[in-house]
């Protein structure tokens, strides 16, 4: 969910990918050296169980996990380092009064600048939709396919618990570059408003507004971008957002855009109930119950609980999808993700609603694993998405 403030994702040096990790860690060392001045100027309560650069598991959680499962995810040291750092960073950034320390997040969330000159066959520009609410998107165009007949359009919503990150965060810039190259597609990465400054339904409104903007301003896209072959893609909170935007757009009806597919990468859903996976993996990095509870409270309207339809999409207050032309959907689930039970319920709910849905399970992976290109499963996931896009287009 906090899928990458400054992860070792290969996004720092696009021209020389073998040097990117050295650049990243040099950058981190400088930031960490200066971090104390920021922390000393802010009132921050750090939970005792979170230790920088170590597994963020309490003794009680370690005992519980040992009793329920002897298996642990085997991850490279760079991945473990990044996950531990990011978990601790977001714990520091979340204040007890329900606000986010934006100064701290901005300090450590290094940005990637848009570059209209192709780098590794991908060019990028930023397009403003509504300056009054800082609504914009980053447009990724595959240079080598500039003269191709038609290119599908991917509208991407980043993760971060609705509270963190943006399209110009290095890791998400790198992810969308990978999408653009691997899928031979035009990618639109949406900068939506964040909580707790902007609560529900601002994020869904922003997502819908970008789709409306594209529908009415076809000229901002490359000439060979095919809006009749549009896919919504989101990871974690972005997967939640993609679902709700899909429902809104299907109900709305657009002139040029036709959403034919949805890719939901470990979507962030929940509810009042504590599922078996949430209990089993409580204390896991990134998406422990303590973290997700805080973020849901920051997102939802005052007085709402986690059975709100924005959170528990398949629960007692869920919308009826049976009469909607909901797009074909691909859902990714991981075996060490505390959110996996909610993701499976989402998939089952789509199937019971008569929708075409497919689920792919990575039993040894964690939440947000696809962000890390050093993991073989990350590349495999992209191959699965490419296959889904190809097959979906062939059926239209």
Supply the residues annotated as catalytic: 236, 337, 367
* Percent helix, strand and coil across the chain, each to the nearest 5: 40, 15, 40
Helices and strands: H and E segment counts in the chain = 11, 8
Tokens for 377, please give them.
């499963």
The gap between the terminal CA atoms of the chain, to the nearest Å, is: 32
The CA-based diameter of the chain, rounded to the nearest angstrom, is 58
Give the whole-angstrom CA distance, residue 248 versus residue 209. Answer: 10
Residue 391 C-beta-side C-alpha neighbours within 13 Å: 12
User: CA-to-CA distance for 19 and 387, rounded, in angstroms?
Assistant: 30
**Cα–Cα dist 57/384, whole Å:** 32
166: nearest Cα among 246, 106, 120: 106
> What is the residue whose two structure tokens read 């036709």?
258
Q: Is the dihedral of CA 167, 173, 175, 181 positive or negative?
A: positive
Report the distance separating Cα 305 and Cα 314, nearest Å.
15
Up-side HSE of residue 8: CA atoms within 13 Å toward CB?
21
- Rounded-to-integer distance, Cα 368 and Cα 337, Å: 9
Distance between CA atoms of residues 26 and 38, nearest Å? 19
Query: In whole angstroms, what is the distance from residue 165 CA to residue 188 CA?
Result: 16
Cα(386)–Cα(184) distance, rounded to whole angstroms?
Answer: 9
The full length of the chain comes to 396
**Tokens, residue 179:** 């999408």
Cβ–Cβ under 8 Å, residues 336 and 237: no
């Amino acid at each position: 969910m906090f899928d990458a403030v400054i992860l070792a994702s290969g996004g720092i040096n696009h021209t020389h990918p073998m040097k990117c990790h050295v650049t990243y860690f040099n950058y981190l060392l400088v930031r960490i050296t200066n971090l104390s001045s920021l922390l000393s100027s802010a009132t921050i309560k750090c939970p005792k169980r979170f230790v920088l650069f170590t597994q963020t598991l309490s003794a009680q959680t370690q005992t519980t996990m040992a009793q329920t499962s002897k298996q642990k995810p085997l991850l490279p040291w760079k991945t473990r380092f990044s996950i531990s750092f990011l978990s601790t960073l977001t714990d520091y950034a979340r204040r007890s009064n329900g606000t986010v320390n934006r100064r701290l997040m901005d300090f450590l969330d290094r940005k990637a600048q848009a570059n209209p000159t192709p780098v590794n066959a991908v060019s990028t520009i930023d397009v403003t939709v509504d300056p009054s609410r800082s609504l914009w998107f980053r447009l990724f165009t595959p240079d080598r396919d500039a003269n191709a007949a038609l290119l599908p359009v991917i509208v991407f919503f980043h993760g971060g618990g609705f509270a963190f990150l943006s399209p110009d965060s290095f890791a998400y810039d790198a992810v969308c570059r990978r999408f653009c190259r691997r899928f031979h597609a035009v990618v639109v990465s949406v900068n939506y408003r964040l909580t707790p400054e902007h609560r529900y339904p601002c994020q869904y409104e922003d997502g819908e507004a970008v789709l409306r903007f594209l529908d009415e301003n076809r000229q901002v896209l490359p000439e060979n971008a095919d809006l009749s072959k549009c896919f919504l893609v989101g990871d974690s909170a972005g997967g939640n957002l993609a679902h709700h935007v899909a429902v809104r757009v299907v109900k709305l009806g657009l002139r040029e855009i036709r959403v034919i597919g949805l890719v939901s990468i470990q979507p962030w859903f929940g509810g009042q109930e504590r599922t078996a996976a949430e209990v089993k993996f409580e204390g896991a990095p990134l998406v422990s119950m303590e973290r997700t509870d805080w973020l849901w409270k920051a997102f939802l309207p005052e007085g709402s609980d986690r059975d709100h339809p924005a959170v528990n999409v398949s629960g007692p207050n869920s919308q009826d999808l049976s009469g909607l032309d909901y797009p074909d959907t691909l859902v990714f689930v991981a075996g060490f993700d505390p959110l996996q039970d909610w993701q499976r319920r989402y998939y089952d709910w789509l199937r019971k609603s008569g929708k075409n849905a497919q689920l792919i399970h990575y039993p040894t992976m964690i939440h947000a694993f696809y962000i890390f290109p050093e993991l073989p499963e990350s590349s495999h996931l992209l191959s699965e998405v490419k296959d889904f896009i190809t097959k979906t287009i062939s059926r239209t």
